[in-house]
Amino acid sequence: MTQLPVIHDVGERTKGWIHSWETSAGQDGPGWRLVVFLSGCLLRCQYCHNPDTWNMYSGKEMTVDEIWDEVKHYLPMLRRGGVTFTGGEPLVQAPFLKSLLRRAKEHNLHTAIDTAGFLGDRVDRQMMNDIDLVLLDIKSWDPRKYLDLTSKELEPTLQFARRLAEAKRPVWLRYVLVPGLTDTPEDIEGLAAFAAELGNIERVDVLPFHQLGRSKWAELGLDYKLQNVLPASVEQVRSAIEIFKRDGLFAC
């Protein structure tokens, strides 16, 4: 078995940088959710639809109390769902995220984080205990493709996935299907086999690539390499879902 990393306590922070928040139902965790977008991300995914979240300091600096003043207005509905922290990459601000998770659990709310897992070693034991669900976005199974697609290594994400399994934390696996990049059967089969062995994957969301973030790249003066890539077709998505299902995973 792969040796797990030693996790040091990340401490806590009462201030952090928030990009925005929105409400959702079903896709960002069970039930009705308040989704809080934390600013900052180390990955540079070619298909990112929120490149405006990459720079942490482009958001608004807020305290935990200020954020909770907003959250509390939604509490009656959040009892039927919870709060999801996303980004950007929420683990860029791990100490601040830890404080937000603790506050949510103090109010008996279901908590979820939406992460690429690259900074999973920042999750200490307290944070792990305060996370009810992880939405884990694994971009590709092929390490070379992953590096080209994100500018970062794949292995830290796999290490985090193994830690989540050891801790018996529920995971919803997310996989963005990009024609010509992440749609090869071999890649999907490899990821499906890995996920099936973990034992804590509750569902797999196969997300078709889209061009909705293209305008943001242009506004930021960034080179968007996928401007000529067509969205994934219904047939391509269905084929990927069937591969995950063959390994006994609930995929949709």
For the chain, domains (ranges, CATH) are 15-246 (3.20.20.70)
Which is more confidently placed, 172 or 211? 172
The per-residue pLDDT for 6 is: 43
**Tokens linked to 57:** 């300091």
The pLDDT of 44-66, averaged and rounded, is 94
The per-residue pLDDT for 114 is: 98
In contact, 84 and 35? CB cutoff 8 Å: yes
**Strand-strand pairing, 32-38 and 15-25:** antiparallel
The per-residue pLDDT for 5 is: 43
Which amino acid is present at 135? L
- Cβ burial 195-219 (10 Å sphere, 16+ → b, else e): beebebbeebbbbbbeeebeebbee
| CA distance linking residue 148 with residue 140, whole number of Å | 10
The per-residue pLDDT for 13 is: 86
Question: Using one digit for the tens of pLDDT, what is the confidence trace for 184-217?
Answer: 999 999 999 999 999 999 999 999 999 988 999 9
The per-residue pLDDT for 26 is: 80
Q: Is the pLDDT of residue 4 over 80?
A: no
The per-residue pLDDT for 9 is: 64
The pLDDT of 26-32, averaged and rounded, is 92
The pLDDT of 26-40, averaged and rounded, is 95
Give the residue from 162, 176, 181, 187 showing the smallest Cα distance to 237. 176
Which is more confidently placed, 27 or 171? 171
**Percent of the chain clearing pLDDT 70 (strictly above):** 96
**Other Cβ atoms within 10 Å of 96 Cβ, number:** 25
Q: Is the pLDDT of residue 1 over 50?
A: no
**Percent of the chain clearing pLDDT 90 (strictly above):** 89
Region of poorest pLDDT, from 8-22, 43-57, 87-101, 236-250: 8-22
The per-residue pLDDT for 121 is: 97
What is the average pLDDT value for the chain, to the nearest integer? 94
Question: Using one digit for the tens of pLDDT, what is the confidence trace for 102-133?
Answer: 999 999 999 999 999 999 999 999 999 999 99
